Amino acid sequence: MPALAKSASASAVKKSKDVKKTQIHYPFWFGGSASCAAACFTHPLDLIKVFSDTSAQADDELTTPGQTANTGA
């Protein structure tokens, strides 16, 4: 059965006409819908984070960039 085994180098396989390169073609609107979905999910989360950060600062004493908060240490 050694006659059935065929040896080929990688460069010979690349040059072969039998090997077909298949390229996936996505519809053009996939990029737009992905960015819309990302904005719809991340914007509310960021809004909640900023709101919670600013409400926590309103309860505490606000400091200027040159000052440090008194931590009691």
| pLDDT single digits (tens) 26-51 | 898 999 999 999 999 999 999 999 99
Tally the residues of the chain. 73
Q: Would you kindly state where each structural domain of the chain is located, as residue ranges? A: 32-56
Q: What is this structure's pTM?
A: 0.41
Res 65 pLDDT > 80: no
CA distance 56 to 60: 7
Q: Give the pLDDT confidence score for residue 38 in this predicted structure.
A: 94
- Measured between its terminal Cα atoms, the distance across the chain in Å is 83
Q: What are the structure tokens assigned to 63, written together?
A: 């400091």
